[in-house]
A and B are shown apart, each in its own frame.
Chain A
Amino acid sequence: MSYLLFKKPGIFTSIQDNGRPGLSFYGISKGGYMDPNSADLANKLVGNKKGSPVIECSYTAPTIEFGKNFIIALSGADMNWTIDKNPIPRYTSLYVRKGSILSGSSGHQGIRAYIAIQGSMDLPKVYNSYSHYSRCDINGENGLILKKGDKLPIKKGKSKWQFRFVSDEERPPLSKKKIIPIHRGPEWHLLNQHSKESMMKAHWSISTNSDRMGANLTGHTISFRNEINMDSVPVFPGIIQAPIDGSPIVVLQDGQTAGGYPRIAFIPQESLGLFNQIRPQEAFSFYLVL
């Protein structure tokens, strides 16, 4: 059996695929890649099927030793990746030899990087997904939050080496200033006029007190026209809730499936990956799609 040895785990490195649908009724969100576009590109570069599991690295790169020769690809945030201390590019297929060490540093131009390995991960699927789910023991206890010394078993693919790359134009625009589109949510009308304008114009940032469940927004306080007391209603990744204290929360991949705070807006699914690459405390703006 081939494997990857995690010599250093990084801050929050986990296995993710395109998620675990079908359980939201019981309060378990679909989960999966935080930046699906980047993950899809990594899989494509190594010839894996769309939706295959990848290694998702958040904030800081892990250090990985390869137990055999592998074809890999890196995408998403730039973590100054090296193989045996020699810089290597992202968005290209790479042939790495047994004993090589992949390492890097903290991410810039984004905070989430993806490592795809040609072949399949020899891990149990739980409820039809390999994804680690951060809220309870679904693919967590088996080591899918990767720790120092973990060995990730890989069944190597049969495809031969093929050079592939992704052009600059096809890559997610992580280096550009972040302007995130939003649509009005079902309770947008409950905001007062000043708060509506704040949502559209103001510079926001994500609090460090955020995780795969939700991003707490800071920068401005929003308020409502009247006192709010609403029933619990469905939410999903991308929904922006506003607790009564006026600090909005963006529900993310491992977030709740229902909540009782007003859903003032939502980030469209195709833009959520870009939002999830914003570093905490980095300024960004929303614009309202009319």
Chain B
Amino acid sequence: MKSLHINDIKFSVHLYSEQILRLLPSKIPLNVSLPLIAETILQASLSSIENIVGTKTELLLFVHGNTDKSTLRKELKSIEIDRSGLTNHFVLPICFNKGTDWNSIEDLSGVAKATFIDQILKSNLSLAMYGFLPGFMYLDGLAETLQILRKTKPVKKVNPGSFAIGGPYAGIYNIESPGGWHVIGHCPLQLFNAASILSPFVNIGDTFTLKQISIAEWKSLNAETVNIKDYN
């Protein structure tokens, strides 16, 4: 199988195995992101698809072992993609004094901490995709001056709630994990709930404005479990 269509969008197919398919779009479609396509496929509960990952440039499909190619083609072709662009907007409180990597961020970006914070507060961020770790949100919209390379070696432990930047994205670590991004602050809200993964607080395309909070405000929010929907 060299190519297939999801709705009217053509993808080239690269096989890791008969069941694991790497899909690259022939051209990046307008008004629809690959993670949105992945989310649509997930919600359609296709008989041919066991698992799916969608990032900005690629899809990864895990196909059920007993699926024939014609069923896979037919199911993917029939997917209806919502191109309405309707999204929600959230305010995300960040305590930048909780950032642990400001020295390296200033070195790599050449931008002083105060200027960096000022610029990122003016950014219009949106949820590009989930991935990496449970509920980890990749936020698009970082100005080029604020984009820096990932760490050369990931650190073993990043604290839950860490707000970090890596490459073109900002993101939040919901759980403790290793990590290769630079931590610039902390968000005290609950953004992900393991008990309701399939009904997330935030969907692909939803937008964010950052709000700088003090240590005292952070302590107050961090003392209780406030989720992003209730906060907004």
The complex places the Cα of A24 from the Cα of B53 at a distance, in Å, of: 6
The complex places the Cα of A279 from the Cα of B60 at a distance, in Å, of: 30
A89 contacts the other chain (Cβ, under 8 Å)? no
Using A26-B197, A27-B131, A243-B180 as known contacts, say yes or no to A258 and B38 having CB atoms under 8 A apart.
no
Residues of A within 8 Å of B129, CB to CB, are 232, 258
A161 contacts the other chain (Cβ, under 8 Å)? no
Find out whether the CB atom of B131 lies under 8 angstroms from the CB atom of A258: yes
Residues of B within 8 Å of A138, CB to CB, are 194
The complex places the Cα of A24 from the Cα of B130 at a distance, in Å, of: 9
Would you give the shortest CB distance from A225 to chain B, in whole angstroms? Answer: 16
Tally of contact residues, B, Cβ under 8 A: 51
Binds B, one of A77-85, A112-120, A195-203, A261-269: A261-269
Count chain A CB atoms within 10 A of each CB in B42, B53, B58, B138 and give the residue with the most: B53
The complex places the Cα of A26 from the Cα of B150 at a distance, in Å, of: 22
Taking residues whose C-beta sits less than 8 angstroms from the other chain, chain A's interface range is 35 or more
A245 contacts the other chain (Cβ, under 8 Å)? yes
Find out whether the CB atom of B166 lies under 8 angstroms from the CB atom of A260: yes
- Give per-residue flags for A59-74: 1 if the beta carbon is below 8 A from chain B beta carbons, else 0: 0000000000000000
Using A25-B53, A127-B197, A232-B131 as known contacts, say yes or no to A243 and B167 having CB atoms under 8 A apart.
no
Would you give the shortest CB distance from B75 to chain A, in whole angstroms? Answer: 15
The complex places the Cα of A136 from the Cα of B54 at a distance, in Å, of: 21
Would you give the shortest CB distance from A34 to chain B, in whole angstroms? Answer: 18
- Give per-residue flags for A16-56: 1 if the beta carbon is below 8 A from chain B beta carbons, else 0: 00000111111110100000000000000000000000000
The complex places the Cα of A269 from the Cα of B138 at a distance, in Å, of: 28
- Give per-residue flags for B22-65: 1 if the beta carbon is below 8 A from chain A beta carbons, else 0: 10000000000001001100100000001111111111101000
Find out whether the CB atom of B62 lies under 8 angstroms from the CB atom of A260: no
B35, B131, B134: the one within 8 Å of A136 (CB): B134
The complex places the Cα of A94 from the Cα of B150 at a distance, in Å, of: 52
The complex places the Cα of A236 from the Cα of B134 at a distance, in Å, of: 14
Interface residues of B in 6-28 (CB under 8 A from A): 14, 16-17, 19-20, 22
The complex places the Cα of A248 from the Cα of B17 at a distance, in Å, of: 22
Would you give the shortest CB distance from A19 to chain B, in whole angstroms? Answer: 9
The complex places the Cα of A245 from the Cα of B138 at a distance, in Å, of: 23
Find out whether the CB atom of A136 lies under 8 angstroms from the CB atom of B194: yes
Find out whether the CB atom of B156 lies under 8 angstroms from the CB atom of A209: yes
Find out whether the CB atom of A243 lies under 8 angstroms from the CB atom of B55: no
Find out whether the CB atom of B17 lies under 8 angstroms from the CB atom of A269: yes
The complex places the Cα of A151 from the Cα of B77 at a distance, in Å, of: 49
The complex places the Cα of A265 from the Cα of B138 at a distance, in Å, of: 24
Find out whether the CB atom of A234 lies under 8 angstroms from the CB atom of B175: no
Interface residues of B in 153-197 (CB under 8 A from A): 153-154, 156, 166-169, 174-175, 177-178, 180, 194, 197
Find out whether the CB atom of A135 lies under 8 angstroms from the CB atom of B166: no
Interface residues of A in 222-252 (CB under 8 A from B): 229-234, 236, 243-245, 247, 249
The complex places the Cα of A244 from the Cα of B151 at a distance, in Å, of: 8
The complex places the Cα of A138 from the Cα of B193 at a distance, in Å, of: 11
The complex places the Cα of A22 from the Cα of B135 at a distance, in Å, of: 14
Query: Can you list 5 contacts pairing A with B, beta carbon distance less than 8 Å?
Result: A21-B62, A25-B39, A27-B132, A231-B57, A257-B132
Across the A-B interface, give the 8 residue pairs with the lowest CB-CB distance, nearest first.
A258-B131, A234-B60, A245-B153, A234-B53, A244-B152, A21-B50, A21-B51, A245-B152
